[in-house]
């Protein structure tokens, strides 16, 4: 996840959601990526290494939040994003934590943000 963060995962969503008309091809690619990430998360849940109430929409929005961390120095911004990813990963591993207070965002909620 640190490599994905460093590669900019979530950065385009933060900048472009709702600012252009997405094509069917783009929606299809997004749906495919969403499904692959969901399968990976399902395997992690089955292995007992992450909370069972986390969904892929949660991860998507967490990456967007991390990408929004900006300071003048790019290297320092990268350090801070990775610092907070470490904290989030620790929280995701708390399999005995109290249940989350509301349902995760659905694929439709994530996808519809690209509608203009």
Q: Are 20 and 116 in contact (CB under 8 A)?
A: yes
State the pLDDT at residue 48. 93
Residue 11 pLDDT exceeds 60: no
Residues of the chain with pLDDT > 70: what percent?
Answer: 88
State the pLDDT at residue 60. 86
Residue 15 pLDDT exceeds 60: no
Mean pLDDT, the chain, as a whole number?
86
Q: Compute the radius of gyration of the chain from its Cα atoms.
A: 15
Residue pLDDT, tens place only, 89-100 = 999 999 888 999
- Domain ranges in the chain are 2-112
- From CA 34, how far away is CA 11, in angstroms rounded? 16
């Amino acid at each position: 996840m640190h490599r994905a963060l460093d590669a900019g995962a979530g950065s385009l969503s933060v900048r472009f959601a709702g600012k252009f008309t997405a094509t069917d091809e783009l929606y299809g690619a997004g749906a495919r990526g969403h499904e692959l990430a969901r399968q990976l998360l399902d395997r992690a849940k089955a292995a007992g290494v992450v909370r069972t109430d986390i969904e892929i929409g949660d991860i998507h929005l967490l990456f967007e939040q991390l990408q929004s961390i900006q300071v003048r120095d790019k290297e320092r911004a990268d350090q801070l994003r990775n610092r907070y990813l470490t904290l989030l990963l620790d929280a995701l591993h708390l399999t005995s934590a109290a249940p989350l207070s509301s349902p995760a965002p659905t694929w439709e909620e994530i996808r519809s943000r690209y509608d203009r």
